[in-house]
Amino acid sequence: MSSRDAILSRIRTALALDPSRDPPPVPEVWPRKNPPPAEMARRFAEELEAVHGEVIRVPNLDEARKRLAELMEQEGWTKLGAMDRPLCRDVVQTTNPDCIAWAQSDWTPPGMADLSAGLVEADLLLADTGTAMIAAGRAEERLLCYLPPACIVIATMDRLVEHLPAAWPEIAPRVADPQTRGEFVFITGPSRTADIEKILILGVHGPKRLIVLLVG
């Protein structure tokens, strides 16, 4: 046995738990305060707007459809690339079908960059950082978060969680499932960078605009 193997063996032995004893408590790095949904929504909006993201609060899906139509008209968006997810389907029900392109496996990055905007559904919203988590099962779904010049995230109030540790009980089983494919994408605001003179520039490495449609 090499010196390295001997050291690692001693470490493993020292770290091994005695089955007759209870394991030590897990330290609570981020204590849970369990704030009400309205408080988490307020915090989420504040944090996202602080990094140049936008939050549009709407009471229901009908209003979300109206606001999406207004955005498309105001911005001159002619083609939305969308994840084929339930909320995305719901919010474009009244949109001209010719203006919607559902994500396809044969899409190319240059073609996706030519879309007016990407429409994605958030699985979770982290209130403490204004972060949206999107489960992207396929490459084209992940690239929808990055390549179009604008990204629209739709989510309902029940997707709000206090912070990442509070979200972990939902995330961990999915990560451990061998059938899970793709990646979890965490988005906090539009793409932004700064040069040596600290001049902030948006949209260099991803969408210049990030809008969260929060329903409920």
Residue 45 DSSP SS3:
helix
| φ and ψ at residue 129, rounded to 5 degrees | -125, -5
Query: Does residue 19 carry a pLDDT above 60?
Result: no
Provide the pLDDT for residue 172: 87
Distance CA 34, CA 125 (A): 14
160-198 per-position pLDDT tens digit: 999 999 998 888 888 888 888 889 999 998 876 766 667
The stretches of 16-50 forming alpha helices (DSSP H) are 37-50
**What whole-number distance in Å separates Cα of residue 45 and Cα of residue 63?**
18
Task: Give CA–CA dist 72/15, Å, rounded.
Answer: 57
Element (H, E) at 200: strand 200-202
Which domains are seen in the chain, by residue range?
A: 35-215 (3.40.50.10420)
pTM recorded for the entire structure = 0.83
pLDDT at 33 over 80: yes
Q: Which residue has the higher pLDDT, 23 or 151?
A: 151
